Chains A and B, each alone.
Chain A
Amino acid sequence: EIVLTQSPGTLSLSPGERATLSCRASQSVSRAFLAWYQQKPGQAPRLLIYGASGRATGIPDRFSGGGSETDFTLTISRLEPEDFAVYYCQQYGTSPPTFGQGIKVEIK
């Protein structure tokens, strides 16, 4: 199975700062079938990005995704208070679909 490794484990930033989250795959992700999700405590994850760079419905444009093959990035251009959460990447092109271990974005 494809192993996704996210870094850093924790990102300590202030509101208004830029956040750059990394997701590295153990092998090429088929057709950029890579998604990003946001999860807040006690809530289900929410889809942010699909197809590596497509924004899901209702997601603000401060969230952007990029990358290809084995290296992917989620960027939050200016952190808002509601953006402090855990972020997961997922590949859904190869069986079984797998998730990264998550990155916690916390308030500095």
Chain B
Amino acid sequence: QVQLQESGPGLVQPSQTLSLTCTVSGGSISSRNYYWTWIRQHPGKGLEWIGYISHSGSAHSNPSLKSRVTVSEDTTKNQFSLRLTSVTAADTAVYYCAAAVGMGFGELRSWGQGTLVTISS
């Protein structure tokens, strides 16, 4: 089972870009059938699927976030990343990276511990 760890700034100013990285260990992000996924959880609220990048490099994001989201990968570092542009206070949340496996968009089998990102000036 792979392990995942998020990293990135805990505080981002409004209108700026949120950038997070997820480091994967115990497996390669080029492994077949994996969807490297970002999820967020607003304080005290439920879970929201943000997007993924697959083992083949194809990406898919939640239409609710429109064109603000980019999920990318760095196979040389065994990492994948999230960029969210033009952030507002509504983007304050705990951000999780996760490994999804299987059919459809995959069930989320392994999760990072999560990182709180606060949007504030």
Contacts and interface: CB of A to CB of B under 8 A. Distances in A.
A31 B63 CA distance: 22
Nearest to A54: B107
Interface in B10-55: 46-49
Contact of B108 (A35, A57, A98): A35
A8 interface: no
A97 interface: yes
B48 to A, nearest CB: 7
Interface residues of B, number: 24
A8 to B, nearest CB: 15
A67 interface: no
B105 to A, nearest CB: 4
Interface stretch (A20-28, A73-81, A99-107): A99-107
A51 B113 contact: no
Interface residues of A, number: 28
B108 A47 contact: yes
A102 B46 contact: yes
B1 interface: yes
Contacts of A95: 60, 63, 105
Q: Would you call the interface of chain A mostly helix, strand, loop, or mixed?
A: loop
Interface in B72-105: 96, 98, 100, 102-105
A31 B111 contact: no
A96 B49 contact: yes
Contact of B111 (A44, A57, A96, A101): A44
Contacts of A88: 46-47
Interface of A: 1, 30-31, 33, 35, 37, 43-47, 50-51, 56-57, 88, 90, 92-102
21 contacts: A1-B64, A31-B103, A31-B104, A33-B104, A35-B107, A43-B113, A45-B108, A47-B107, A50-B107, A51-B102, A88-B46, A90-B49, A90-B107, A92-B100, A92-B105, A94-B104, A95-B60, A95-B105, A96-B64, A97-B105, A101-B46
